[in-house]
Amino acid sequence: MDIHVGIDVGGTFTDVAVNVPEANRFIHFKLPSTPGEPDRAIVEGVARALAENDLNARDVMRLSHGTTVGTNALIQRRCGRVAVVTTEGFRDLIEIGRQVRPRMYDIHLDYPSPIVPRQLRFEVRERRRADGTVHLPLDEAGLRDLARTLVDAEVECVVVCFLNSYVWPEHEERAVALLRAALPPAVHVLSSTSVYPEFREYERFSTAVLNGALLTVMNAYLNRFTAGLEGIGVRADPKVSQSAGGLMSLGMARRLPIRASLSGPAAGVSGAAVRSAAAGFEDIITLDVGGTSTDVSLMKGGIPGEVYEHEIAGFPLRLPAIDVNAVGAGGGSIAWIDSDDLLKVGPMSAGADPGPACYALGGGQATVTDANVVLGRLNGDALLGGGMPIAKPLAVEAVRRLAACLDLELGETALGIVRVSAATVVKAIRAISVERGHDPSEFALYAFGGAGPLFAVDVARQLDISRVIVPPHPGILCAEGLLNCDMASDFVKSALVVAGPDAPPTLNSARGELLVRSGSWLDEEGVPPDKRSLSWSVDMRYRGQNFEIGVASDGEEFDAAACERLVQAFHAAHEFNYGFASPDEPVEFVNLKLKGMANLDQPAPAVWVVSTEGKPHASRDVVFGGAERITAPLYRREELGRDQVIEGPAVVEQLDSTLLVFPGDHGRVDDWGNMVITLAEGSPSWN
């Protein structure tokens, strides 16, 4: 009996989803994270989930997980000691960067200090021009001398970043070979083109350096992780979630850990895409609220948006990623008073340790979770189905201290904490919708994460969204999403050429190279021919522009007609994105991109099997929006029947989350177990 396991590691909880397709069983398990050793909670969670359900670890055939190890290491600067070897004259490029301030109107805010200090950035004589001409040959003797300096510096990784190597990588490849031969085997040596061979030196150098900084951290983590799984009898080859969606093997994760920097949020969007499509919803805005942060993403036509340039820990990263906007607003976000005597919430979080005050683990500051306990929105006795005791008096005490400073009542302060946090989430959604020409009222809000269903209605009302969808197991959707991911790898080749007679041969040359590289990856992963698929796109711009737009391509060989179709598609895309097009301007091809996919067997979402209507098992006084408390019936999510309608006010509790149906609204359980909440027309905005 084959078992599939998905794991998502968050700042507060570690979630485990287990699927046994032959038995039509979905098992969900949740336990507190262990931030210092995230692998410990993973191994414990898998072991307990299997043991408590009489499953054999040897039957686990597929295990996939998302991790925040890389992101946290960069944010906290707990990463490997990295040196950079670059073209003579370009030692300070990664520190100079672009002439763009992090915040336009803050003249005092500086860029973060470079990952690689200046004393570990070295120059070597070499130079290839943009046309490939060798202006200065590689100084191999100088490289060998430099190797001795690198040994003395006790670096753990050396990143080789040469000018114009994105299209002419020969000097980088030779330098890597020489340094590997001269340095101890434990020192990682990599080139910028092996990470992401795309033009724009600063972004390419930065991406390669970030990858180098994570090699030691990720390898140590994966060693502990695999050893722990072997210790409990799991023999499956684990997979790691990527920022762009899809999975990668441990081998690739060890070489390219930067690709997993946003793996958790990507897994959640992937899970939402599968479940929302099955339920008939294609235009959605995802709302993933965890203990530390909130991640939002917009999905049009069932397809998540994708970006190719973003930041991590303040540094530019040039890699494909699902378009997720993250803000510091979660259940563990700490409420505080700024110097202007105004209430603020986040981005600081109580995390899993010590956690919110109501966890009784030593935390004393009021958090969003504490506010929800005070308001009656959350169970004041226990969470996780009784597995986590809640000390309501501690939550009341923490919020009361804040209320005294604000000269407000206890309930007003708790409601204010929730409202401020919801406003932060609304702002994040506007950034990916309104600011990009999308009307959020035309989308459904797909709420998940442990705290997503608590925020959902408050957020939806502010955005004039009339429908909220909550999946059957919202707190574990990121882990569940990993059960429905394929393996994937992205390849890019810069091909700067103006549309015209020179374009087809240039693009076909790049196409041939990408086919070889993707084929090598698929062969390395042992993917049979019938499980392979390819997806192509071309980055294009008007000549003289600084940024490009991606246009889908059919992947066939390029001829004049194919190039003209792409040009027309680019004009249309430019008008859609910016409101105008310039058909008379020359168009330039910039990059050819290929996403290789290894299609894995994926279980379909389970149909909701409960047919009898669930009854309230108790009631609780809850503050939904106004100052008064309203007595609301309490339902257990697992007892709700298919097509059952819940009229608000109501509270629906389950192992991994709590769902609110506000007064005047109603929710219906669909065939897949989703709770579809319809907001009453003309209902007041509680915020």
Per-residue tokens: 411 = 């309930």
Cis ω for the linkage preceding 354 (within 30 of 0): yes
Is pLDDT larger for residue 47 or for residue 24? 47
Reduced DSSP (H G I as helix, E B as strand, rest coil) percent helix, strand, coil of the chain, to 5: 35, 25, 35
- Given a cut of 50, whether residue 166 has pLDDT beyond it is yes
Cβ neighbours, 10 Å, residue 281:
20
157-161 vs 121-124, strand pairing mode: unpaired
**Residue 332 DSSP symbol:** T
Q: How confident is the model at residue 67 (pLDDT cuts 50, 70, 90)?
A: confident
Q: How confident is the model at residue 348 (pLDDT cuts 50, 70, 90)?
A: confident
Residue 196 lies in a domain: yes
104 shares a domain with 60: no
179 shares a domain with 83: yes
Residue 444 lies in a domain: no
Tell me which residue of 606, 510, 593, 626 sits closest to 558, measured CA to CA.
510
CB 368 within 8 A of CB 417: yes
664 shares a domain with 555: no
Mean per-residue pLDDT, 21-47 = 86
Here the CATH number for the domain that contains residue 580 is 3.30.1490
Here the CATH number for the domain that contains residue 50 is 3.30.420.40
Mean per-residue pLDDT, 382-397 = 84
**Amino acid (one-letter) located at 217:** V
Helix (H) or strand (E) holding 669: strand 666-669
198 half-sphere exposure, CB direction, 13 A CA radius? 25
Residue 62 lies in a domain: yes
102 shares a domain with 171: yes
How remote is the C-alpha of 198 from its chain's centroid? 22
Tell me which residue of 523, 548, 545 sits closest to 537, measured CA to CA.
548
Is pLDDT larger for residue 108 or for residue 125? 125
Looking at residue 491, its pLDDT comes to 94
**Amino acid (one-letter) located at 628:** E
Mean per-residue pLDDT, 525-554 = 92
Distances (CA, A) of 340 to 204, 333, 337, 407, 533: 41, 20, 8, 15, 56
Tell me which residue of 414, 392, 291, 432 sits closest to 406, measured CA to CA.
414
> How far apart are the C-alpha atoms of 318 and 325, rounded to whole Å?
16
Looking at residue 686, its pLDDT comes to 45
Cβ neighbours, 10 Å, residue 346:
22
Q: What are the residues whose beta carbons fall under 8 Å from the beta carbon of 513, sequence distance 6 or more?
A: 493
180 shares a domain with 100: yes
pLDDT by residue (tens digit) across 544-570? 898 899 999 998 999 999 999 999 999
**Residue 378 DSSP symbol:** S
Distances (CA, A) of 248 to 33, 137, 221, 317, 529: 23, 37, 16, 19, 18
Per-residue tokens: 354 = 């010590």
Residue 339 lies in a domain: no
303, burial (CB in 10 Å: exposed 0-12, middle 13-18, buried 19+): exposed
634 shares a domain with 582: no
Phi then psi dihedrals of residue 165, to 5 deg: -75, -15
Is pLDDT larger for residue 607 or for residue 257? 257
327, burial (CB in 10 Å: exposed 0-12, middle 13-18, buried 19+): buried
Looking at residue 49, its pLDDT comes to 92
Please provide the distance, in angstroms rounded to a whole number, between the alpha carbons at the two ends of the chain: 50
**Residue 603 DSSP symbol:** P
Q: Tokens 């991606």 sit at which residue?
A: 550
> How far apart are the C-alpha atoms of 3 and 21, rounded to whole Å?
7
pLDDT by residue (tens digit) across 207-242? 999 999 999 999 999 999 999 999 999 999 899 999
Residue 357 lies in a domain: no
**Residue 35 DSSP symbol:** T
Which residues does residue 538 pair with via DSSP β-bridges, in sequence order? 551, 592
Residue 93, Ramachandran bin (φ over 0: left; ψ between -120 and 50: alpha; else beta): alpha
562 shares a domain with 646: no
- Given a cut of 90, whether residue 111 has pLDDT beyond it is no
> How far apart are the C-alpha atoms of 235 and 226, rounded to whole Å?
9
Choose the weakest-confidence range: 2-6, 51-55, 352-356, 418-422: 352-356
> How far apart are the C-alpha atoms of 556 and 549, rounded to whole Å?
20
Residue 460 lies in a domain: no
Residue 544, Ramachandran bin (φ over 0: left; ψ between -120 and 50: alpha; else beta): left
**Amino acid (one-letter) located at 384:** L
CB 369 within 8 A of CB 331: yes
DSSP reduced 3-state for 319: coil
Rounded to a whole number of angstroms, the CA Rg of the chain reads: 26
Per-residue tokens: 679 = 């907001």
> How far apart are the C-alpha atoms of 687 and 679, rounded to whole Å?
15
Looking at residue 371, its pLDDT comes to 94
- Given a cut of 90, whether residue 687 has pLDDT beyond it is no
**Amino acid (one-letter) located at 533:** S
- Given a cut of 60, whether residue 685 has pLDDT beyond it is no
Mean per-residue pLDDT, 320-324 = 88
Choose the weakest-confidence range: 130-134, 310-314, 450-454: 310-314
Phi then psi dihedrals of residue 595, to 5 deg: -110, 115
Residue 379 lies in a domain: no
Looking at residue 444, its pLDDT comes to 95
CB 471 within 8 A of CB 670: no
Tell me which residue of 75, 70, 658 sits closest to 328, measured CA to CA.
75
Cβ neighbours, 10 Å, residue 232:
15
Q: How confident is the model at residue 193 (pLDDT cuts 50, 70, 90)?
A: very high
Q: Tokens 């599939």 sit at which residue?
A: 4
Mean per-residue pLDDT, 330-336 = 88
> How far apart are the C-alpha atoms of 181 and 404, rounded to whole Å?
66
> How far apart are the C-alpha atoms of 277 and 296, rounded to whole Å?
18
Per-residue tokens: 174 = 């030779």
Average pLDDT over all residues of the chain? 90
* DSSP letters for 242-270: -TTSSEEEHHHHHH-GGGGTTHHHHHHHH
Choose the weakest-confidence range: 124-133, 359-368, 385-394, 397-406: 385-394
Looking at residue 498, its pLDDT comes to 96
563 shares a domain with 525: yes
Q: How confident is the model at residue 519 (pLDDT cuts 50, 70, 90)?
A: very high
What's the farthest any 2 CA atoms get from each other in the chain? Answer: 80
Domain boundary among 219, 248, 278: 219
pLDDT by residue (tens digit) across 134-162? 999 999 999 999 999 999 999 999 999 99
Q: What is the pTM of this model?
A: 0.85
Mean per-residue pLDDT, 606-631 = 88
For the chain, what is the domain count? 4
> How far apart are the C-alpha atoms of 271 and 277, rounded to whole Å?
10
Cβ neighbours, 10 Å, residue 519:
14
Helix (H) or strand (E) holding 349: strand 343-349
Provide the percentage of residues in the chain whose pLDDT is more than 70.
97
508 shares a domain with 491: yes
Query: 573 is in which domain, residue-wise?
Result: 487-598
147 shares a domain with 69: no
Per-residue tokens: 559 = 């001829």
Looking at residue 684, its pLDDT comes to 52
Distances (CA, A) of 32 to 351, 621, 656, 666: 10, 28, 12, 32
Provide the percentage of residues in the chain whose pLDDT is more than 90.
63
Which residues does residue 213 pair with via DSSP β-bridges, in sequence order? none
519 shares a domain with 491: yes
> How far apart are the C-alpha atoms of 38 and 25, rounded to whole Å?
27
* DSSP letters for 531-549: GEEEEEEEEEEETT-SS-E
Three-state SS annotation for 361-426: CCCCCCEHHHHHHHCCCCCCCEEHHHCEECCHHHHHHHHHHHHHHHCCCHHHHHHHHHHHHHHHHH
Three-state SS annotation for 136-172: ECCCHHHHHHHHHHHHHCCCCEEEEECCCCCCCCHHH
pLDDT by residue (tens digit) across 257-295? 999 887 778 888 988 998 898 888 989 999 998 887 888
144 shares a domain with 32: no
Residue 152 lies in a domain: yes
Looking at residue 682, its pLDDT comes to 62
pLDDT by residue (tens digit) across 416-452? 999 999 999 999 999 999 988 899 999 999 999 888 9
